């Protein structure tokens, strides 16, 4: 593109950087967008004619229509930084594995490396947009790193992303709100905020674009994920009560959710929430609270994650108890491995914990997922399990169809709510399973009454037997 056009660079071509930039490019044809990454493999995949590195409904069309016109994917990070007027940083910010705050605090290594790169390369003023989810006060720290070079002026804005996987394109095209945090007390800060508001105004109604100070914006992202995850953990806590009392958790959540103050979304009881962010962001809040001396507040936040761990464990216990207190040597079909439907992403998927625990008990697993790569399943279970790959290969098989997985199994375990599981031929499945044939529905998506009539023994989350 010509240098007179407004130039955006995005550092990090992942689940957030890729789709977000594809939609900006689609909605703003007068802006050039270059997405860069250190991973050559990822960039090659974004540039390929075959499969993009991530699967999202509608994403491929958006990329194909803009790629090579005003959307570019490259590993030339320095070149893209140099010519950019605005730089989004959408690198990963996982939970720290070692050192201070290990297991809770966010690991900002990638963020800081990106910032140092910008400081090194930039010769002209730039607006830096914090897209990654980060602890409160990160923008401030990053500004210090950037300004230390003294070469040029920077503005740092916070612009957290609220998209959910599986609906990324829809969420980006019609977001509930766009949140922009900046230094509104300062003229340059306000101008930078306005510049970003301009970009979103290409397609987002102005009243949905809200501006705040930087800290409110950073904190709001963590708090939004806390509230969402809290609802899942709360209804999952209720599901335990239902299993012991004869109440039906789906009936309870419908009844409760009809109160307009509560609302019906995010009240689906499940085997537990997964995904790359809920746990990480809540642990981040726990760490922030603790480091500010707010122990009780930290404990309150922490219970949302602890409840989720309990829920996964409760589900595994139900499987083992249901199968006459032993699964050793039994064949179990695992339906779904992704952390939710319509994505191939498995990060923190409840299926990983369920499989690891069942393998610990020496069950034989046959796993089917319509979107997750076989190599990903092996990698996730190998990482979670104490067993080595050779041992695991004796216990795990991966099937390319749900019927293949069900063949000869004692139980079907639903871990992901893929729509296609509702339409399976259960008469056929019953005929190829060992008897009694068990179903453990970790997502409450199957027609339990019908399955019981066919002859299955059905366990579901938060339902009487």
Please report, as ranges, the residues that interact with ligand UGA according to CB under 6 A: 133, 161-165, 225, 228, 232, 266-268, 270, 273-278, 339-340
Listed residue (207, 201, 208) closest to 176, CA to CA: 208
Q: Which does 268 bind (CB under 5 to 8 A by kind): ligand NAD, ligand UGA, none?
A: ligand UGA
d(CA 60, CA 169): 10
233 upstream amide cis, omega within 30 of 0: no
List CB contacts of 157: < 8 A, sequence separation 6 or more: 127, 128, 129, 130, 139, 180, 181, 182, 192, 193, 196, 214
Q: Which does 110 bind (CB under 5 to 8 A by kind): ligand NAD, ligand UGA, none?
A: ligand NAD
Q: Pattern 67-106, binding to ligand NAD, x per CB under 6 A?
A: ----------x------------xxxx-------------
d(CA 111, CA 384): 26
Q: Which does 201 bind (CB under 5 to 8 A by kind): ligand NAD, ligand UGA, none?
A: none
Q: Which does 267 bind (CB under 5 to 8 A by kind): ligand UGA, ligand NAD, none?
A: ligand UGA
Site for ligand NAD in 5-44 (CB under 6 A): 11-17, 36-39, 42
Q: Which residue is nearest to ligand NAD (CB)?
A: 14
Residue 272: CB minimum distance to ligand UGA, A: 7
Q: Is 208 marked as binding a ligand?
A: no
Q: Is 166 marked as binding a ligand?
A: no
HSE toward the beta carbon, residue 142, CA cutoff 13 A: 30
List CB contacts of 272: < 8 A, sequence separation 6 or more: 232, 236, 308, 309, 311, 312, 315, 350, 353
Q: Residues 163, 19: contact at Cβ < 8 Å?
A: yes
Q: Residues 333, 366: contact at Cβ < 8 Å?
A: yes
Q: Pattern 109-148, binding to ligand NAD, x per CB under 6 A?
A: -x--xx-----------------xx---------------
Q: Residues 418, 341: contact at Cβ < 8 Å?
A: yes
Listed residue (161, 85, 169) closest to 128, CA to CA: 85
Closer Cβ to ligand UGA, 23 or 277, answer by number? 277
Pairing of strands 364-368, 396-398: parallel
Q: Which does 266 bind (CB under 5 to 8 A by kind): ligand UGA, ligand NAD, none?
A: ligand UGA
Closer Cβ to ligand UGA, 96 or 340, answer by number? 340
Of the listed 10, 242, 277, 355, which one is catalytic? 277
Q: Which does 38 bind (CB under 5 to 8 A by kind): ligand NAD, ligand UGA, none?
A: ligand NAD
Site for ligand NAD in 313-352 (CB under 6 A): none
Q: Which does 37 bind (CB under 5 to 8 A by kind): ligand NAD, ligand UGA, none?
A: ligand NAD
Residue 241: CB minimum distance to ligand UGA, A: 17
d(CA 367, CA 438): 16
d(CA 107, CA 36): 20
Residue 14: CB minimum distance to ligand NAD, A: 2
Q: CA separation (Å) from 104 to 233, 281, 320?
A: 19, 9, 31
Find residue 441's DSSP bridge partners: 414, 460
Listed residue (389, 425, 346) closest to 166, CA to CA: 346
Exactly one of 7, 236, 239, 276 binds ligand NAD (CB under 6 A); which one?
276
Site for ligand NAD in 156-175 (CB under 6 A): 161, 163, 165
User: Phi and psi of 379, rounded to 5°?
Assistant: -65, -45
User: Phi and psi of 395, rounded to 5°?
Assistant: -110, -20
**For this structure, is 28 an active site residue?**
no
Between helix 138-147 and helix 214-245 the angle, nearest 10°, is 150
Q: Is 163 marked as binding a ligand?
A: yes
Closer Cβ to ligand NAD, 208 or 314, answer by number? 208
Closer Cβ to ligand UGA, 339 or 456, answer by number? 339
Residues in contact with ligand NAD by CB under 6 A are 11-17, 36-39, 42, 77, 90-93, 110, 113-114, 132-133, 161, 163, 165, 276-277
For the annotated binding site, the residues are 12-17, 37, 42, 91-95, 132-133, 161-165, 221-225, 261, 268-274, 277-280, 339-340, 347, 443
Q: Give catalytic residue positions.
A: 277
Residue ranges for the known binding site for NAD(+) are 12-17, 37, 42, 91-95, 132-133, 165, 277-280, 347
């Amino acid at each position: 593109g010509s240098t007179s056009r407004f130039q955006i660079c995005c550092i990090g071509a992942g689940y957030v950087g890729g789709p977000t930039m594809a939609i900006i490019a689609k909605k703003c044809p007068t802006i050039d967008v270059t997405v860069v990454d250190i991973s050559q493999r990822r960039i090659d995949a974004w540039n390929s004619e075959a499969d993009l590195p991530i699967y999202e409904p509608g994403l491929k069309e958006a990329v194909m229509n803009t790629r090579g016109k005003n959307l570019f994917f490259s590993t030339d990070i320095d070149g893209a930084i140099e010519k950019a007027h605005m730089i989004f940083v959408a690198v990963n910010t996982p939970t720290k594995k070692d050192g201070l705050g290990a297991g809770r605090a966010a690991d900002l290594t990638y963020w800081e490396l990106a910032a140092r790169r910008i400081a090194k390369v930039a010769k002209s003023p730039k607006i830096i947009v914090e897209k990654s989810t980060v602890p409160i006060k990160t923008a401030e720290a990053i500004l210090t790193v950037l300004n230390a070079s003294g070469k040029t002026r920077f503005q740092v804005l916070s612009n957290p992303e609220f998209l959910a996987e599986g609906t990324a394109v829809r969420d980006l095209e019609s977001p509930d709100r766009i949140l922009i945090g900046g230094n509104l007390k300062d003229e340059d800060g306000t101008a930078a905020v306005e510049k970003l508001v301009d970009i979103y105004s290409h397609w987002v109604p102005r009243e949905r674009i809200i501006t705040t100070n930087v800290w409110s914006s950073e904190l709001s992202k963590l708090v939004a994920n806390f509230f969402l995850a809290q609802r899942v953990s709360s209804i999952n806590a209720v599901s335990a009560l239902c299993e012991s009392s004869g109440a039906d958790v789906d009936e309870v959540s419908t009844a409760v959710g009809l109160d307009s103050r509560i609302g019906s979304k995010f009240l689906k009881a499940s085997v537990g929430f997964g995904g790359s962010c809920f746990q990480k962001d809540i642990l981040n809040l726990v760490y922030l609270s603790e480091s500010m001396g707010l122990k009780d507040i930290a404990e309150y936040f922490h219970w949302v994650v602890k409840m989720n761990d309990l829920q996964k464990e409760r589900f595994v216990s139900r499987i083992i108890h249901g199968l006459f207190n032993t699964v050793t040597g039994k064949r179990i079909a695992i339906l779904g491995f992704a952390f939710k439907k319509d994505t191939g992403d498995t990060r923190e998927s409840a299926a990983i914990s369920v499989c690891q625990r069942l393998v610990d008990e020496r069950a034989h697993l046959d796993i089917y997922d319509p979107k997750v790569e076989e190599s990903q399943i092996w990698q996730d279970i190998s990482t979670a399990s104490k067993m080595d790959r050779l041992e695991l290969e004796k216990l795990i098989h991966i099937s390319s169809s749900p019927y293949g997985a069900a063949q000869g199994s004692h139980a079907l375990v639903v871990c992901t709510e893929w729509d296609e599981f509702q339409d399976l031929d259960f008469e056929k499945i019953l005929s190829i399973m060992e008897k009694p044939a068990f179903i453990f529905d970790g997502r409450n998506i199957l027609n339990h009454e019908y399955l019981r009539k066919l002859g299955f023994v059905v366990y579901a989350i938060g339902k009487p037997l």
